[in-house]
Structures are given as C-alpha cells and as structure tokens.
Amino acid sequence: MDERELLALAIKAREHAYVPYSHWAVGAALLASSGRVYTGCNIENAAYTPTNCAERTAFFKALSEGERKFDAIAVAGGPEHEEPEEICAPCGVCRQVMMEFCDPGQFRVILGTKDGVQTVMTLGELLPVGFGPQTLGIDKE
C-alpha cells in the first residue's frame, strides 16, 4: 500500500460523508501496522458538537477492531460534490487522537488533492511539543 493508493482510498471515502451543515466532505484512509486499511468520513450532527471528523472515524473503526499500531493516514477534503483542490489538514482534536496511538517521529500524515499527494508530514511536525502517553510515563510497548 503506497501513499498514492492510500490517498485514492481517502478520496473514495468522502463519498459517504454526512455533511448537511458544512457541506465540507472529508475522507481518510488509515494504514495500520498490520497492513489493514480503515477508511473514514466525517459525520455531522444537528447539535454540531457530536460531529466526528473523518480521521477519528477511521481511527475509532480500527481501534474497535483491535488495532493499536499505525503507520500512516491519508486525508482529503473540500466542498461536497467537488474534487478536492486544496489540502485539508487534520484538526487539533484529531492530531491529539493520533498522539495517543502513534509515534510522532514515525507516523506519516499524507495530504492530497485530486492531483495527487501534495504533502507528507510526520505527526511530530503537525503537532510539535505534543502531550501524549509518554508525557505521563506510560510505555505502551
């Protein structure tokens, strides 16, 4: 599974986004270290705050299937019914969820558009000086 393939799955996952409020459809494809890929889309709510981002949908699907180690996530988003023309970076809450389960120096966040992969960053680059399990002395190895 290379970065291009993962991005294609993220773009495909946008098709299921439930976005009647923002009309902003996001898709994510999460590559677990097991080799399995879990996709996700954003799911909005009339009360707004229960909204779940695409990235967290993918993570919670994977975690609930027993996955605990992850290598990379591809993300693509933009106006509903249009192909993504600009990158869509993960929100702060999603970065923090990644921080719980991913090595900030290793985990790759692949940001792409309809034209392909545009940027690949580590979680540590996206969330420098982060707060995570290690801060509390939790060694999950």
> Which residue among the candidates 55, 65, 86, 125 is catalytic per the annotation?
55
Q: Are 32 and 12 in contact (CB under 8 A)?
A: no
CB of 98 to ligand THU, least distance (A): 11
For ligand THU, the closer CB: 14 or 132: 14
Residues in region 79-118 near ligand THU by CB under 6 A: 88, 90-91, 94
Q: Are 72 and 80 in contact (CB under 8 A)?
A: no
CB of 133 to ligand THU, least distance (A): 22
Q: Outline where the chain has alpha helix (H).
A: 3-13, 54-64, 92-101, 123-126
For ligand THU, the closer CB: 23 or 68: 23
- Type of residue numbered 63: L
Q: What is the C-alpha to C-alpha distance for residues 83 and 75, in angstroms, rounded to an integer?
A: 13
For 77, the token pair is 């988003």
Candidates 128, 123, 129, 127; CA nearest to 106 is 123
Does the annotation count 80 as an active-site position?
no
Strand, coil or helix: 45: coil
Among 42, 59, 84, 132, binds ligand THU (CB under 6 A): 42
Span of 2-10, 18-26, 64-72, 122-130 interacting with ligand THU by CB under 6 A: 18-26
For ligand THU, the closer CB: 90 or 112: 90
Q: Which residues of this chain interact with ligand THU, rule CB under 6 A?
A: 19, 22, 24, 26, 42, 44, 51, 53-55, 75, 77, 88, 90-91, 94
So which residues are the catalytic ones? 55
